Structure 1
Amino acid sequence: MPSTHDFGFTIDTLDWKAWAPVLDLARATPDEIKVLEESHPKAKVSPYYLLLVQEAEVLRQRSKLFNTIMYGPRGASRADRELAATAESRVNGCPYCASVHAQRFVQMKGDRELMLRLLDEGVRTPMPSKQRAIVDYAVKLGATPSAANAEDLAKLRAEGLDDAEILDITLSVAMFANANRLMQTLGEAVRP
């Protein structure tokens, strides 16, 4: 099965293969089952969740945080959060997360061409000014968090984002700084 090192970034749906043993669902405790059910609709068949649930409380807290940041009804639009997650994943070299969140951005925003360019050409590809400001901010936070400054926030505000939206973009980037590292150190994306 070819790894993502062989094919790079894609908007296609990818699978993920764990490099460590995953939980045998038939041996799961009631708490592990509960955590999987709280985490994601497909968690019981996902090698990623079946690996992480072996530390059930950690997965419980990670899933609660992830779901609040990415799906909460406040602040930034879902599309803007997905764009930030895709940019962070592209910079971090995580094809699995980049493909998932590129697909979600397209579902929310309908701009498949932008996502294809972002995945193929990288984070410097041309894009509308609002998306450019979000991607530039995500890239800066991902590469060197201390480099982000008031000027970066001013650029986001100039594109119409308020402070609650900027906080959501920041939270999305931070979540994916963590998520990408988990995905890439515990396994690898593979073509289905």
Structure 2
Amino acid sequence: MTDQAITYPDNIEPNVFTRDELGWVPWLQPLAEDELTSRHHAGLVDPSRAKSPYFMLLARDPDILGARTRTDKDIFYNTKSGLPRAEREIAATAASRTNGCIFCASVHSRFAYQHSKRDEDVQKLLEEGIYTDIDPSWNAIIDASAALTKTPQGFTESHIDELRRAGLDDVAIVDVINGAAFFNWANRLMLSLGEPTPPASVA
């Protein structure tokens, strides 16, 4: 295997934000499953991720991938205190919507709907963008996440105040920051390494 660039001339990238399940193809050659060592498997954390071209590409640096995956899981799955899972996913969706990462927005908007059951509100964020009006809590989370995503200096004390007025305590506010900051980075990584593909139903 080489690191030769890959192109997909027949792929028609999705150009609309959606909750549909999209595919993703890398522009560099990912590892093949038969190339994985015990170190690679440790970096993947979940064995099922060996089926993902994205994670198999990141597995070329398994130590960093392992740190990335454990950070991701702690931010979104460690919900014993702080922000509920749905709102963490809204922060990630807002970051992805701001960055134009259609793939990540589709994943996290599905989780946001799954955990909140707020179909119309999640769809409003996807269709209308970060300036949509939903409710004080989600508005504050979306506004803070978008500000942090655009530039860290744009995230100010006023965003903290807005989150507090919406009823979030300090731990929940940290969860908003973590979700948005992580996916601001993750979006840019994914956007630089490959491209989304249409849902299987229309591919």
Give the TM-score band, short-chain normalised. Answer: over 0.9
From 121, 134, 140, the counterpart of 1:114: 121
Alpha carbons of structure 1 residues 135 and 41: separation in structure 2 relative to 1, 3 Å: farther
Per-residue CA deviations over 1:70-100 (Å, capped at 9, x if unaligned) read 1112311111110000000000000111000
Per-residue CA deviations over 1:21-49 (Å, capped at 9, x if unaligned) read 0001012112112322x1x4631100000
* Equivalent-residue separation in structure 2 for 1:132 and 1:163 (angstroms): 17
Could you tell me which residue of structure 1 aligns to residue 56 of structure 2?
50
Would you say the 8 A contact 2:25–2:53 is kept in 1? Answer: yes
From 4, 24, 28, the counterpart of 1:16: 24
> SS of the residue aligned with 1:54?
coil
Alignment of 1:93-112 (within 5 A): 93-112=100-119
How much has 1:144 moved relative to structure 2?
2.1
* Counterpart amino acid of residue 143 in structure 1: K
Percent of paired sites with the same residue:
37
* Equivalent-residue separation in structure 2 for 1:126 and 1:149 (angstroms): 21
Per-residue CA deviations over 1:104-151 (Å, capped at 9, x if unaligned) read 000110011112121112111221111001101111111121122222
From 40, 53, 59, the counterpart of 1:32: 40
> SS of the residue aligned with 1:17?
strand
* Counterpart amino acid of residue 135 in structure 1: I
**More helix by proportion, 1 or 2?**
1
Would you say the 8 A contact 2:27–2:193 is kept in 1? Answer: yes
CA RMSD of aligned residues (A): 1.2
* Counterpart amino acid of residue 18 in structure 1: P
Could you tell me which residue of structure 2 aligns to residue 68 of structure 1?
74
* Counterpart amino acid of residue 171 in structure 2: A
From 156, 159, 170, the counterpart of 2:163: 156
> SS of the residue aligned with 2:167?
coil
* Equivalent-residue separation in structure 1 for 2:151 and 2:43 (angstroms): 33
> SS of the residue aligned with 2:25?
strand
From 145, 151, 156, the counterpart of 1:144: 151
**Larger RCO: 1 or 2 (CA < 8 Å, sep 6+):** 1
* Equivalent-residue separation in structure 2 for 1:188 and 1:97 (angstroms): 11
* Equivalent-residue separation in structure 2 for 1:140 and 1:75 (angstroms): 21
Alignment of 1:171-182 (within 5 A): 171-182=178-189
Would you say the 8 A contact 2:89–2:112 is kept in 1? Answer: yes
What TM-score comes out, normalization by structure 2 length? 0.89
Would you say the 8 A contact 2:43–2:64 is kept in 1? Answer: no
The count of aligned residue pairs is: 188
* Equivalent-residue separation in structure 2 for 1:54 and 1:144 (angstroms): 29
* Equivalent-residue separation in structure 2 for 1:29 and 1:65 (angstroms): 22
Moved over 4 A (4+): none
* Equivalent-residue separation in structure 2 for 1:88 and 1:33 (angstroms): 29
> SS of the residue aligned with 1:42?
helix
> SS of the residue aligned with 2:59?
helix
* Equivalent-residue separation in structure 2 for 1:181 and 1:9 (angstroms): 17
* Stretches of structure 1 lacking an aligned partner (at least 5 in a row): none
